[in-house]
Amino acid sequence: MRSIWRTLRRTVATLPGNPFGMIKLKSRREIDLMRESAELVSRALAEVGSRVEPGVTPTELDAVAETFIRDHGAEPAFKGHRAGGGGDAFPATLCTSVNDAVVHGIPDEEPLREGDLLSVDCGVLLNKYIGDSAYTFAVGEISEETRRLCRVTYEAMHEGIEQAVGGQTTGDVGAAVERHCAGYGIVEALCGHGVGRELWEEPQVPNRGTPGDGAPLRGGLVICIEPMINRGGADVTTDDDGWTVRTADGSTSAHYEHMVAVRSEASSDEGGKPEILSTFEPIEQALSAPPPYRVAGEPAAA
């Protein structure tokens, strides 16, 4: 009996709409709720961004974000989260990853310094749905080289997003990111993901790939596309805290993340364009300087 149930489950999981499937497609109403969650993250990141300057500590930024999120009727989604169900619970609202830290940095009391690169990942739970987005900030003036790293990472995210339409696959997303990052280290140990009521849902969305490989993308799927790109090699290590991921060679790393709803193929009313649920607009407005992905004299491609 149990094996018949398993077979049935597995068969149904491959059908469009898959009610038992690991890949959970969202209704229009759910996507609208997820946009509200994503926009709250964007506004929390703007609050953080307006305070990023030399001398500020990641712990202070974390407190700003937590207060803002709770004041808006939501909960921090990362706080208490356990990777893969095991290990230590993440202790903070934000992941703050400075310079050679790639992702999942735990906010600490170390003041930010002029020229640092600070990646901030933020998640909320609002009306039972997750919002999840990340932005890399410049602390004061950053080098031209670091600015280029930010630009490549930001543009690679948008290259990946362009592939997030019905009929494409997660491999198409990964291949598009990979193509844009030649000469940089593309972190493979971590990747983007489906998102919904849970922070990490299926499918995984890799930042490298072969066109046509991986999970098929269908209208109603909501995914986070989040390249993590290193100035040097692709290898990473994890600190003793069990969370902080760093580049193995100590090179600087950048990370941008948008939450994207996949629409049906081009035959649909929306013309198959991906629907980006998070927005960097409030963040860019909050910054006192041009975004780190704008390189002087070179307009960004995306």
Q: Which residues neighbour 20 within 8 Å (Cβ) at sequence distance 6 or greater?
A: 9, 12, 13
d(CA 166, CA 225): 15
| 56 vs 199 by CB, closer to Mg ion | 199
* Alpha helix (H) residue ranges in the chain: 2-13, 28-49, 58-71, 144-162, 170-180, 281-286
| 234 vs 260 by CB, closer to Mg ion | 260
| 130 vs 142 by CB, closer to Mg ion | 130
d(CA 161, CA 169): 12
d(CA 23, CA 221): 8
Question: Can you say how many angstroms the Cα of residue 208 is from the centroid of all Cα atoms in its chain?
Answer: 15
d(CA 227, CA 15): 29
At closest approach, how far in Å is the CB of 10 from Mg ion?
27
At closest approach, how far in Å is the CB of 233 from Mg ion?
23
At closest approach, how far in Å is the CB of 77 from Mg ion?
10
At closest approach, how far in Å is the CB of 120 from Mg ion?
12
d(CA 263, CA 99): 36
Q: Which residues neighbour 120 within 8 Å (Cβ) at sequence distance 6 or greater?
A: 45, 48, 49, 61, 94, 95, 96, 97, 134, 135, 136, 137
- Joined tokens for residue 271: 């013309």
Amino acid at 181: C
| 142 vs 215 by CB, closer to Mg ion | 215
At closest approach, how far in Å is the CB of 291 from Mg ion?
20
> Which residues in 86-102 are b (16+ Cβ under 10 Å) and which e?
eeeebebbbbbbbbbbb
| 164 vs 224 by CB, closer to Mg ion | 224
Give contact residues for Mg ion (rule: CB under 5 A).
132, 224
Query: Are 180 and 161 spatial neighbours (Cβ–Cβ below 8 Å)?
Result: no
| 199 vs 286 by CB, closer to Mg ion | 199
At closest approach, how far in Å is the CB of 200 from Mg ion?
8
Cβ-count burial of 212 within 10 angstroms (0-12 exposed, 13-18 middle, 19+ buried)? exposed
| Cα dihedral 201, 293, 252, 283 sign | negative
At closest approach, how far in Å is the CB of 42 from Mg ion?
14
| 142 vs 224 by CB, closer to Mg ion | 224
Name the residue whose CB lies closest to Mg ion: 224
At closest approach, how far in Å is the CB of 187 from Mg ion?
13
| 132 vs 172 by CB, closer to Mg ion | 132
